[in-house]
Amino acid sequence: MWHTRRRALQRTLVPFAFLAPFLVLFAFFLITPLVYALRMALYNERLVGGTVFVGLSNLEQAVQDPSFYTGLEHMALLGVVQIPIMIGIALLFALLLDARAVWLPSLFRLGFFLPFAVPTVVAALMWGDLYAPSFGPLAQISRDLGLGTPGFLTSTWMLGSLGNIVTWEWTGYNMIILYAALKTIPPEIVEAAAVDGATPLQTALRIRIPFIAPALVLTVVFSIIGTLQLFNEPQIMSVIAPQVIGTSYTPNVYVYNLAFSSHEFNYAAAVSFVLGGFVFLSSYVFIFLTRKQR
């Protein structure tokens, strides 16, 4: 009796022992900063009077902040255009590689995935130099062809130029996730379709893509989260195009500058919470919309 009760207690504690290292770190370095940030957002530092409780006023200000929305609009536009292109290409690659429709599939898998190994800082540095209007090779080629100097780093094209960097970095990663999902389709299903006379295109549209719909949703949600949080690329680009990027080109660039240039830590925390709200909202809306269709 004693023995069994002790066993039972041990049984309940075992999973928590396995979870303990992760959960302790999670509590210290994720939950604590989050709670602290929330607290910060509710207070203000005043020169006279020190820390003052201001309730929701920082959050109210953040929700109405035009600088925040400038960045958010950039990211919304980038997301609506770039994510479908990137996931579309990644899906096409994954389908072609999975169907053995190309020669040298492992070369392509590795080559497309390689940019993921490149630090975003280095990726932004490289593309920044490729875009350069004076010595950049793309401009050199364009001038040789008599097409003039392209304005990759102008305010008109900057968003597209950033979108290109993001696409370059993440297409291969998404391709690998989708490819791995395609690999789990039982071969009998695809073979049966072929026996029934389905063309490869029909098989892809009616069987293979619907089968990996959950993985597709996952890649899009990760992309939405990543896009709304874009920081490294615009931060590095601001070195070569300071007038175009400015201090609020993306929400995270804005938050960073609020905190470390203006030292408005409390307001920065409030803005980052509002951003978090938008990230949650857009991911949730996307999951909801795709769930309804299925």
- Minimum CB separation from other proteins for residue 106, in Å? 8
Considering only residues 155-184, where is the footprint of other proteins by CB under 8 A? 168, 171-172, 176-181, 183-184
Residue of 69, 157, 256, 286 interacting with other proteins (CB under 8 A) = 256
Segment near other proteins (CB under 8 A); pick from 49-57, 78-86, 115-123, 145-153: 115-123
Nearer to other proteins, 82 or 120 (CB): 120
Burial class of 164 by CB neighbour count within 10 A (0 to 12, 13 to 18, 19+): middle
Burial class of 31 by CB neighbour count within 10 A (0 to 12, 13 to 18, 19+): exposed
Q: Which amino acid is at 178?
A: L
Residue of 6, 8, 9, 28 interacting with other proteins (CB under 8 A) = 28
Burial class of 67 by CB neighbour count within 10 A (0 to 12, 13 to 18, 19+): middle
Q: Which amino acid is at 293?
A: Q
Structure tokens of 76? 């919304």
Considering only residues 202-231, where is the footprint of other proteins by CB under 8 A? 212, 214-215, 218, 222, 225, 228-229, 231
The reply to whether 63 sits near other proteins by the rule CB under 8 A is: no
Cβ–Cβ < 8 Å for 68, 248: yes
- Minimum CB separation from other proteins for residue 77, in Å? 19
Residue of 9, 34, 85, 189 interacting with other proteins (CB under 8 A) = 34
d(CA 28, CA 30): 6
Segment near other proteins (CB under 8 A); pick from 48-56, 60-68, 118-126, 151-159: 118-126
Nearer to other proteins, 157 or 265 (CB): 265
The reply to whether 243 sits near other proteins by the rule CB under 8 A is: no
Cβ–Cβ < 8 Å for 153, 237: yes
Residues forming beta bridges with residue 53, ordered by sequence position: 43
Nearer to other proteins, 87 or 236 (CB): 236
Considering only residues 84-113, where is the footprint of other proteins by CB under 8 A? 89, 93, 96, 101-104, 107-113
Structure tokens of 45? 């530092």
Nearest-5° angle of CA 176, CA 181, CA 187? 125
How many chain residues touch other proteins (CB under 8 A)? 97
